[in-house]
Amino acid sequence: MVLAPRVLIVDDSATLRLIMARALQRYGCQVSIASNGNDGLNKALQERPHCIILDVVLPGVNGFSLCRQLRALDPEHDLSIIMVSSKNTPVDQRWGLRQGADRYLSKPFTEEELVGTVKELLSTHPPF
């Protein structure tokens, strides 16, 4: 029995969470959501997702800080982290990657870009 990859979406935009969740569910992922950094950290610890899609600008703990916390808890680098943000300068992107993200997608992005990035990361860090 093959289980679906678990993906956690942490974004404060309800609309964008829904769009991303539907695209990933069509791909076959089991998706959970969080609307802020604190909830995202709690869900990540409880649910142990294979991949986290993490917005940079969040209420409470921002995405950069949350990314650092998650990496500190993941010394084997088993968790794939995709940062997403409208903060899309090269400096922002480099900073996001330096915090531990595997990829940085600038908003707006297409469903195909999102699913393709998740597929790529799951193929390099297989969840099973």
Q: Tokens standing for 71?
A: 């990496």
Give the pTM: 0.94
Q: What is the pLDDT of residues 62-74, one digit of tens each?
A: 999 999 999 999 9
User: Measured between alpha carbons, how far is 113 from 62 in angstroms, rounded to an integer?
Assistant: 23
For the chain, the average pLDDT equals 93
Q: Minimal CA–CA distance to 96: which of 55, 40, 47, 39?
A: 55
Length of the chain: 128
Q: Given this model, what pLDDT does residue 2 score?
A: 60
Task: Estimate to the nearest angstrom the gap between the alpha carbon of 60 and the chain centroid.
Answer: 17
Q: Given this model, what pLDDT does residue 127 score?
A: 61
Q: Which domains does the chain have, with CATH numbers?
A: 6-123 (3.40.50.2300)
Q: Given this model, what pLDDT does residue 47 score?
A: 94
Residue 97 pLDDT > 90: yes
Percent of the chain with pLDDT over 90: 85
User: Measured between alpha carbons, how far is 37 from 122 in angstroms, rounded to an integer?
Assistant: 23
